[in-house]
Amino acid sequence: MIKKIALGIAAAMSLQVSADVAQVADEIEPKVIEWRHHFHQHPELSNGEFETAKYIADYMRELGFEVQTGVAKTGVVAILDSGKPGPVIGLRADMDGLPVLESNDLAWKSTAKGEYNGNEVPVSHACGHDTHMAMLMGAATILASKKSELKGQVKFIFQPAEEGAPAGERGGAEVMVEEGVLKNPDVDVIFGLHIWAGLDVNTVAYRAGGIMAAVDPFKVVVKGKQAHGAYPWLSVDPVVTSAQIIMGLQTIVSRELELVEDGAVVTIGKIQGGVRSNIIPNEVEMVGTIRTLNDAAREHIYESLPRKVKAIAESMGATAEVTLPLDYNYPVTYNDPELMADMVDTLVRTAGKDHVTSRKPTTGAEDFSFFQKEIPGLYLFVGGKPLDVPVKEAPAHHTPEFYVDDSGMKLGVKLLTNLTMDYMAKH
């Protein structure tokens, strides 16, 4: 009975907090948009977010937070301490842009250049990380103004290199975790948002369990015997062998996984071998990606793919070397079911019942998953699509046309703030 009364009081307090947060979010929205436009005009690539980090760190110091820079090379971590006992809540935003030439005609369009693997490339925020930073700065602003109402601490994590570190480097959430970002003080739970170009503004989408896939790039090198293209019987043809391997790999998902339970993808994205039409080469190299939505499917493919590749190569008289994972790999982005059930009422109260939707998982990947491997966490999608744009016409992420509307950020600011304050009230 006492617990029910306490929960009722917490719910009533949360309603009042939500109303206050909504009012302040309205007031600071122009500033959030200003921040977003600044980041959008000045994007930086993974592990090179130096000016972005300085801009964020300077503002977080203005709010009176304890600020640490240089985390995982360019990351920024700021701590708001209420001075009262309570949970430690992590809030995360990613910082890096992409080597994509923006084609949108915006007053705040990116014309930035950067260096990617030794080449000069255009840079743009073609995945919405500019909005993620602006939303988290907005939430920090509101939470700083409500410090007297908080119990516990908030750790604001601005993370570099979500899109993957440059060749020969490491970065991102995995390195932040290794460097202790979830320690001192120890973070109890973590929340993150991703703006989504295909989801209506003022809408939030969630899912308990796996919401984004694990990603595991791999490489296969098939070695045969070179011969003249006119005399293929003198060769051990790595091209034909590679073709057999590519088709064979598709049967892992279609014939070995329980598809109603195990969503997965095995894709070959690159195949390279030979120099001209009449020479069968000595070897062929293939590069691909594996996407899985649970650990069982991931473990099965890790065992099955090398076995199948080597058996097919052997049947053709060739040999094959498999590198898995190739360079980076991310776990499944997994929303803790108990935490999701605990916080879903916050989503409804913040966005409104008609603007909260459960969603199917996506085979895209997110290194937010490294935080969730250590502590319970929630990763949510916030709408960035203008209401007058049909879903089929919404530009995809990582493309020159990518666009999300400024008006989608206010909900993200409110969600990050209310998730923090509601979790503190409940725990």
Query: What is the rounded distance in angstroms from the CA atom of residue 384 to the CA atom of residue 203?
Result: 8
Query: What is the rounded distance in angstroms from the CA atom of residue 160 to the CA atom of residue 76?
Result: 9
Sequence letter at residue 381: F
CA distance readout (Å), 206 to 70, 331, 393: 32, 18, 23
162 is catalytic: yes
Query: What is the rounded distance in angstroms from the CA atom of residue 173 to the CA atom of residue 90?
Result: 13
Cβ atoms of 223 and 238 within 8 Å: the answer is yes
| φ, ψ of residue 302 in degrees (nearest 5) | -60, -35
For β-strands 356-358 and 204-206, DSSP reports them as parallel
CA nearest to 99, candidates 74, 127, 139, 79: 127
Adjacent-strand bridge partners of 80: 154
Query: What is the rounded distance in angstroms from the CA atom of residue 42 to the CA atom of residue 48?
Result: 12
Question: If DSSP codes are grouped into helix, strand and coil, which group holds residue 360?
Answer: coil
Query: What is the rounded distance in angstroms from the CA atom of residue 68 to the CA atom of residue 66?
Result: 7
Adjacent-strand bridge partners of 78: 67, 156
- Please identify which of the residues 94, 102, 130, 162 carries the catalytic annotation: 162
| Overall size of the chain counted in residues | 427
- For tokens 């019987």, the residue is 233
> Cβ-count burial of 80 within 10 angstroms (0-12 exposed, 13-18 middle, 19+ buried)?
buried
First to last CA, the chain: 18
Query: What is the rounded distance in angstroms from the CA atom of residue 393 to the CA atom of residue 391?
Result: 5
Query: What is the rounded distance in angstroms from the CA atom of residue 59 to the CA atom of residue 372?
Result: 27
405 is catalytic: no
Cβ atoms of 132 and 94 within 8 Å: the answer is yes
Residue 424 DSSP class: H
Adjacent-strand bridge partners of 334: 210
- Please identify which of the residues 44, 94, 96, 336 carries the catalytic annotation: 96
Sequence letter at residue 228: H
CA distance readout (Å), 381 to 24, 82, 111, 331: 22, 28, 28, 18
Residues serving a catalytic function are 96, 162
